[in-house]
Amino acid sequence: MDVGRVPTRSLHDGRPVPVLGLGTAAYGAALISDDSQLRALQAALEMGYRHIDTAEIYGQGRSEELVGEAMRRTPREELFITTKVHQRHLRHDEVLAAMDRSLTRLQTDYVDLYLIHAPNPAVPLEETMEAMNALVDQGKTRYIGVSNFSVEQCDEAFRLTRSLIATNQVHYSLLVREPEENGVLAWCRAHDVLLTAYSPLEKGAVTRDETVRRLASDLGVTPAQLALAWLIHMDHVIAIAQSDDEEHLRENLEAADLRIPDDVM
């Protein structure tokens, strides 16, 4: 796969987003060396990853710092960087302050996508969305979105935004089909919103499934590649997969180019 040539899906305004991104929830963890994770991030960018997903809560901010260090070698305009505001920071002024901290850690003037990491029933969504709208107006994020939102919560966010909702990031995999069952996938398609699937490999559980292993073997691909390809070739679905192992990073990235027969899908 050529660097920077990962297949894309379009946001509501036509802006392309790589269908497969690198998740960084475990980056910055105290039990893993920062140096090895920084090298993994740099290797991922050299391989062709251009969509990086992080959050202020990951590693208590250290994940964002590592992403910021790694991306200095890549032209900023080539990257699609997503980060998230934690549910305990959803008051208006707290959202604005959280963004400024994230931008400092990421060493950038803007992010491409800023998400509400999870709803907080104690804070009116209208207050949070007003701050999210302001961040778009200020140029600190190009797009806003949500994560772990139900259909009803998506409806409310959609009503309150001035710039549309780019994505709802939810738990979705071959083994966890809740977005199909609770209407979230159908809602995203109906409103031209991308569904971003996190935990697509279920910490390896998908790759140990007998059916996945058999079908992958028949196709000459790995179980991880089949599981990722199943997601990212569905309408309005993209995925983020996490690894700090260079072999797995490359294996996952190659899934973006796979073509899966209809009967296998």
pLDDT of residue 5: 72
Catalytic site residues?
58
Rounded to two decimals, the pTM is 0.96
Q: Which helix (H) or strand (E) holds 16?
A: strand 16-18
pLDDT of residue 33: 76
Q: List C-alpha distances in Å: 258 to 82, 87, 119, 175, 251.
A: 25, 36, 35, 20, 11
Consecutive sets of 10 residues in the chain, 265 residues long: mean pLDDT of each? 70 95 91 85 97 97 97 96 98 98 98 98 98 98 98 98 95 98 98 98 96 97 97 96 95 94 92
pLDDT of residue 30: 67
The set of long-range contacts for 9-16, using a CB threshold of 8 Å and a minimum separation of 24, is 9/194, 9/236, 9/237, 9/238, 11/143, 11/166, 11/194, 12/164, 12/166, 12/192, 12/193, 13/164, 15/142, 15/143
pLDDT of residue 172: 98
